[in-house]
Structure 1
């Protein structure tokens, strides 16, 4: 699997994104990190529309992929994802995103897709934080006790496990979460946890070999 992992939005390597997949490749836009209970619905819809439009301008066939439509329907999600060339996972609350991934079975299916060299995982903020083995380090940044889905009422501390280190976006940036990320960097150093801090604008472009 290929990775395009941005601290915020599309980052400063946007010119590399179209080279990672063929022209008109199908991209599913996952926006469930914005399902947190205090989210502004109009702002949520607008931001998804803007990001899908940006992907389409880059030459991708982008469409909304709401994981809520696949809760307890892992087989259906697997079928859907196998028709796509990649996913774009946007930011918000990492713990809420993780809940949606667990309830839909995305967390299982993505490990199957990780074996494909023609599949892209792309995204930013919460969309990249969720890739690590543990989400414990994020307790200083996101609310772990926000439960918008009735079928999940406990925090999920296990990440997707596709990376063996934490990604910390918005570090030393003009972002509302930058201060909390700074404290998280200190926490990771004190706890001897592996991490990579990204400033807004920075992007990691990797293959599965790079990520392992």
Structure 2
């Protein structure tokens, strides 16, 4: 922190300088933990590094778990069991874990979670950078899902050009946009909510 404190010009903050300094130190420590040897911008793009990625020949999966002592990937492909072939390895002092798997180890729509061990316990966790998470209709339990369709999504408008006027944006939450006591689906949102938003004059 710059030795010239920002609160010097505000005498009303003088009684709280100790607390402010403590919070600043915590923020700086958290920033250091998040960015490691990189930058906060790099951390914000972490989904390009962490999570599950298919290289064409192999799967590469990475997770940030600094307090873990052991991590296994469990899922429909291994009976939800901790198997040696699906055991991750810690690769640095910052808490990054990694595993490389043959392409046949997972297939499109497989469900998976992490079985995380830590000193004194263990538990199931959804990967922090899961690209897709689904809920079982019966148990209501959420799991990460492998998403690697044979054909990628084909955009209908290749050269989209936005209107020159300032857009009027309506922020909506797909899962909450329903009167029913459940998580709304994208199809329901498309059929029931988007027409109302467009009718109200939003882009």
TM-score normalised per structure 2: 0.25
Using CA pairs below 8 Å that are at least 6 residues apart, which structure has the higher relative contact order?
1
Larger radius of gyration: 2
TM-score normalised per structure 1: 0.24
Instruction: Return the structure number with greater helix share.
Output: 1
Instruction: Return the structure number with greater strand share.
Output: 2
